[in-house]
Structure 1
Amino acid sequence: MRSCFLCVLVFSLCFSCVEKTKKQTIVGSWELLSARIYKGDSSYSSVHANEKLIKIFNRTHFAFLRHDVHKGKDSLPVFVAGGGEYTFENGTYTEYVEFLNYREWEGKVFEFNATIANDTLTISGIEKIEELGVDHKIIEVYKRL
């Protein structure tokens, strides 16, 4: 009986020390830290210091809100909102834009690379809409809220 108890104890200790890998989930709220657009030989930040953007994911949909931090009371008022369905599988993040105040972007699909490391989400890839002359690479970095 004592040897049986000892075996169970040793077995339990061995498996309790195994670190469980926790799958990183995109579900939640994220704040944009930086966003760069690369076109040809040039690049620029697509969000200014006086703006704030959050992106929110549930299991099937995303939404984002971007506005100026001065509540529209300075010379550069900004408000952008959009959302739709998404998939995130094996490092590929695909957005199906259903809603956006830039209506000509609605119905477009964008496929990006995405990684989550601790509380940081990085999204990169090509945004291309021929009829609008949009063709550039983006890199966005978010922190989990």
Structure 2
Amino acid sequence: MKKVYNKFILILILAVLISCAEKEKGKETVVASHVKNDIMGTWQLVYGEIKTADSLEIKNLSNTEFIKILNKDHFAFFNQVKGSTEGFYGGGGTYTLEGNAYVEQLDYIGVNELRGHKFPFIIEIKGDTLIQSGIEDVPEAGIKRHIVEKYIRIK
């Protein structure tokens, strides 16, 4: 009788542990989709800096509008000089998001050297602000720079 009782207790403990593990897995999925939901939307660039080997450039956004749109797995961006048809460009592709590691694969762009390239970034969302930073390294295009971009959500 003691052996049956011990087996019953062991099975009960294993069932509880498995149950807890399943709840934790579900919790991670909820957190991951929550972050993904936070990033989805339309964002306007309000600050941009580019650091190269020996210089720092702060983007002048006073006469341009830069918009980024993110859905569940694709992104697109557009730049337009205010009040002009000059200087328009855009691009897009797919992205992955794991925690705060955000990687864009640029599939649609007018520069061949950039097409298909993956750009890894770290993102942070604070309220209605998205902060994206990382190194853009594309030797074929002569690009190696660290960028920091801050966007606000367009409601």
TM-score by length of 2: 0.73
Number of residue equivalences: 121
SS at match of 2:107: strand
Aligned twin of 2:4: none
Structure 1's unaligned 5+ residue stretches are: 1-20
- In 2: Cα distance, 1:44 partner to 1:83 partner: 24
2:90 matches 1:81: yes
Q: Is the 8 A contact 2:47 2:61 kept in 1?
A: no
Residues 71-110 of structure 1 correspond to what in structure 2 (within 5 A)? 71-72=84-85, 77-110=86-119
**Runs of 4+ with >4 A deviation:** none
Structure 2's unaligned 5+ residue stretches are: 1-30
Task: Tell me which of 133, 136, 146 is aligned to 1:124.
Answer: 133
Kindly provide the amino acid, as one letter, of the partner of residue 64 in structure 1. Answer: F
- In 2: Cα distance, 1:105 partner to 1:45 partner: 22
Aligned twin of 1:36: 49
- In 1: Cα distance, 2:59 partner to 2:140 partner: 21
TM-score by length of 1: 0.78
SS at match of 2:62: coil
Structure with bigger strand share is 1
> Over alpha carbons, which structure has the higher Rg?
2
Aligned twin of 1:64: 77
SS at match of 1:104: helix
Structure with bigger helix share is 2
1:40 deviates by 1.8
Task: Tell me which of 122, 127, 149 is aligned to 1:140.
Answer: 149
- In 2: Cα distance, 1:142 partner to 1:84 partner: 19
SS at match of 2:72: coil
Kindly provide the amino acid, as one letter, of the partner of residue 28 in structure 1. Answer: G
Aligned twin of 1:13: none
Q: How well do the aligned residues superpose, as a CA RMSD in angstroms? A: 1.7
